[in-house]
Amino acid sequence: MSQTTSIEEKLAALPAATGVYVLKNSKGKPIYVGKAHSLRDRVRSYFRDEAGHHKPPEMTRLIADFDTIVTSSDSEALILESNLIKEWDPRFNIRLRDDKTFPYIKVTVAEPLPRVFVTRRLLKDGSRYFGPYADVGHMRRALRAIKKLYTIRSCHYDLPRQAPPRPCLDYYIGRCKAPCVGLQTEADYREMIDEVLLVLQGHTSKLATKLAERMAEAASTLEFERAAEYRDILRGLEEIERRQLAIDPRGGDIDAIALVRDADDACGVIFKIREGKLLGREAHFMGNVQGETEETVLSAFVARFYLPQQEMARELLVPAEFSDREAVETHLRERTGRAFNVRVPQRGLKRELIQRAEENARHLLEERRLVEGAAERRAPDSLYSLQSELNLERVPRSIIGFDISNIQGADPVGAAVWFENGEPFKNEYRQFKVESVEGVDDYAAMQEVVGRYFTRRVEEEHRLPDLVLVDGGKGQLSAAAQALERAGVPDLPLASLAKREELIFTLDRSEPLRLSRREPGLRLLQQVRDEAHRFGLAYHRKRRSKRTLRSELLDVPGVGPARQKALIRAFGSLKALRSASVDEIASVPGIGQRLAEEIAAALAEVGK
C-alpha cells in the first residue's frame, strides 16, 4: 500500500517538462528508458489505462517504480536517452543486434605528429575517427591507399618526447621522412595529415586541384623530384576516385539512411556520399522492434548509430518523418557549429538514393534471417513493397485470399488460397459451401467463410498468415474484421481489394489506398485476388453442375437417391453423363441396361 501511495505521490509531482524517464521493476532494475516532451503526460499514461504508449501489457505489469531526469531541450533528452539505453540495455527497449564492434580508422590529430591506424575502441582523446566500417575490406583498401600515397609514421613513439636517436628502416626504404629526428618539419608533416583527412572524408577532387597547383609550381621552379611526388599522389587519388561509385553527377556531401523491418528484427543502412560519390556503407541490426511504430524505430536508429559519428555531411536524408527530427537537427547544428538539415526526399535523385540504401538493408536483413533460420527463402521485393505500402510490422511472406462466388444467390461458395513467398501454395487451398446465408448477401457469406476458416485454424493450432486479403470493398473488409474478432485473432493484418479501380481498403485508413498499376505490391495482391476468384468460381461451377444433374436425374423413372448418388460419383457432371454411352451408364453399380437406355433417352430429350 505504501508503494502505491509513493508512486501516486510521484505521479502527482511530475513536471510538465521535457526529459527522460526510467521505468523500473520491483528489484529497482531499469526495464525501459524513454524520453518525452511532457514527462507528466507520458509517465502517467503507463499507470493509467490511456493510449499514450504502445508498450506490451507484460511490461506495464512489471513497472514498480520510475525515475525522471529533466533536460533543457528535446535534443538533450534524445542524447541522454541514447546514452542510458547503451549503459543499461533495458529489456523492453529496441536492442542493438550487432554482436561485434566494427573497426574505425583513427587519426591522432591531438598528437604533434599524428598517426593513422585501425582501432575498434572509441575514446574521447581528441582523435578523429572515420567509420565504423561494416565492410572491413573497403576500410583496409582505403588505409593501404593512403599509406602508399603518404609517408605517415608507423612507430608508436610519443613524439617529440620519446624521439629515437636515429631513423628507423621505414626512412631508408622511403615509407617515412623521419619527422622523429627532425628530417621532416612538423609543419610539413601536419600539412600531409590534413591531406589524409581530406581523403578519408572523400574530398579527393578538392585535394587533387590543390596538388595539381603544387605540381605545376614545383615544375616551374625546377624542383622535379617534388613535382614527381605530387604527380604520384595525383595518380593514386585518381585510382581511389575510380573505385568510388558515382551516385550524384552534380556532386555534394550527403548522408542517407534507410530502414527495413521484419517482425522483431530491423536493419538500417547509412550511405555516405562525398562529392557525389559513395564513400562507404554502414549496416546495423536492431531487435525487439515488434510493436514499435516506424518513426520510433527510425528515431532510435538515428540516435544510436548516426549521432555518435564524428564525420557527417551537412544534410541527412531519411525515408520518413519522425518525431525527433527537429531535436536531431538542433543537436547537430550545436555540435558542428554549422547548418544541418534532415530531409525526407519525395522524388528525384535523393529519393533514389534512399531506395538504393533500402535495397541494401533489405538484402542484409534477408541474409541474416536466412542464416539464423528465421526464414527459409528470400522474400521478393514485392513483399517488402507491400509491407511498406500497408504499413505492416512483418513482411507478408504468407498471404491468404478469400473470395465469394454465387449467381443470383444460388449455390454460394467461398474459396481461400494461400500464397507463400509470393507464390501459390496449393496444399493450403480451401473451398467452402456457404451454409448460413440465403439469397444474395456477400457480406454475410464472407463473414461465415472467414470465421469458419480461422476458428478451425486456431483450434487446431495451425500457422496463421501474415496478411489476410478479401475481395471487395469496405463492406467485405468490415465483415472479415468481425469474423477475425470472433475467431480470436483480431490483430491479424487485414486488407480488401476492390475491382475496377483497384482500391485497397484497410482498417487503419479512413480513405482507400490507390497504388500505381506498376507497383509490385499491388500486382501481387491482384494475383492473390484473381487466384481466389478462379478457385472459387471453379468450385461454384462444379456445385451448380451437380445440382442440375441431380434435378434432371430425379425426373427419370426408376432413379432414386441411391442411384442418383452413384451416377454423380461416376460421372461428376451433367455434360459427362450426357456424352456417355449406354454401356458406360449401365456399368455403374445398380444401373442396368434397360434403365441406362431410359436415362440416356431422358437426358437427350431434355438437351434438345
Q: Whose CA is closest to 17, among 34, 42, 49? A: 42
Instruction: Say what the alpha-carbon torsion angle 335, 339, 343, 345 is, to the nearest 10 degrees.
Output: -140
Rounded CA-CA distance 405/133 in Å is: 57
Q: Whose CA is closest to 448, among 436, 464, 430? A: 436
Where in the chain are all domains bearing CATH 3.40.1440.10?
2-93
Where in the chain are all domains bearing CATH 3.30.420.10?
254-370
Where in the chain are all domains bearing CATH 3.30.420.340?
386-537
CATH of 554-606, one of 3.40.630.10, 3.90.1150.10, 3.40.228.10, 1.10.150.20: 1.10.150.20
Q: Cis link prior to 132 (omega < 30° from 0)?
A: yes
| Each residue's pLDDT tens digit, 151-167 | 889 888 888 888 888 99
Q: Say if CB 487 and CB 454 are below 8 A apart.
A: yes
Q: Is the pLDDT of residue 314 over 70?
A: yes
Q: Say if CB 405 and CB 529 are below 8 A apart.
A: no
First-to-last alpha carbon distance for the chain, in angstroms, is: 89
254-370: which CATH topology?
Nucleotidyltransferase; domain 5 (3.30.420)
| 3-class SS of residue 402 | strand
CATH of 2-93, one of 3.90.850.10, 3.40.1440.10, 3.90.1150.10, 2.40.50.180: 3.40.1440.10
Q: What is the pLDDT of residue 526?
A: 93
Q: pTM of the prediction?
A: 0.65
Rounded alpha-carbon distances, angstroms, from residue 342 to 297, 317, 329: 16, 6, 6
Least confident interval from 69-73, 207-211, 352-356: 207-211
And the C-alpha cell for 546? 451437380
User: What's the mean per-residue pLDDT of the chain?
Assistant: 82
For 433-448, what is the mean pLDDT? Answer: 83
| Each residue's pLDDT tens digit, 91-143 | 888 887 664 566 778 889 889 899 988 888 878 788 888 766 656 666 777 77
Q: What is the pLDDT of residue 476?
A: 93
**What is the sign of the dihedral through the CA atoms of 568, 570, 575 and 579?**
negative
What distance lies between CA 496 and its chain's CA centroid?
23
386-537: which CATH topology?
Nucleotidyltransferase; domain 5 (3.30.420)
Where in the chain are all domains bearing CATH 1.10.150.20?
554-606
Q: Whose CA is closest to 154, among 116, 207, 187, 204? A: 116
| Each residue's pLDDT tens digit, 466-488 | 999 999 899 999 999 999 999 99
| Each residue's pLDDT tens digit, 569-581 | 787 766 777 778 8
The confidence band for 148, taking pLDDT boundaries of 50, 70 and 90, is: confident
Rounded alpha-carbon distances, angstroms, from residue 165 to 168, 187, 257: 10, 21, 51
